[in-house]
Amino acid sequence: MGAYSGAHWHSIRELRLELARMGVQHVRFHTAVFVPSGSRFGMFVEQILSNSLPFGAFLLMSGEPPQ
């Protein structure tokens, strides 16, 4: 429903496979936004959690193009 109707939310595993298929090297993933409330508690939790946890609401990927 709504703006995301028909959207597919890719997992890190799916993205790794696709990027490997394209030849992207040195792929790194980071996630953020574990407690989206913006409260003091939420900000505290965001600071202490590792950005390498695979379940944040925001996913960032970086890599190097094929040579």
Q: What's the whole-number mean pLDDT along residues 27-48?
A: 80
- Position 36 pLDDT exceeds 70: yes
- Position 50 pLDDT exceeds 80: no
Q: What's the whole-number mean pLDDT along residues 28-50?
A: 79
pLDDT given at position 20: 93
Give the DSSP per-residue string, the chain. Answer: -GGGTT-----HHHHHHHHHHHT-EEEEEEEE-SSTT-SHHHHHHHHHS-TT-TT-SEEEEEEE---
pLDDT given at position 3: 86
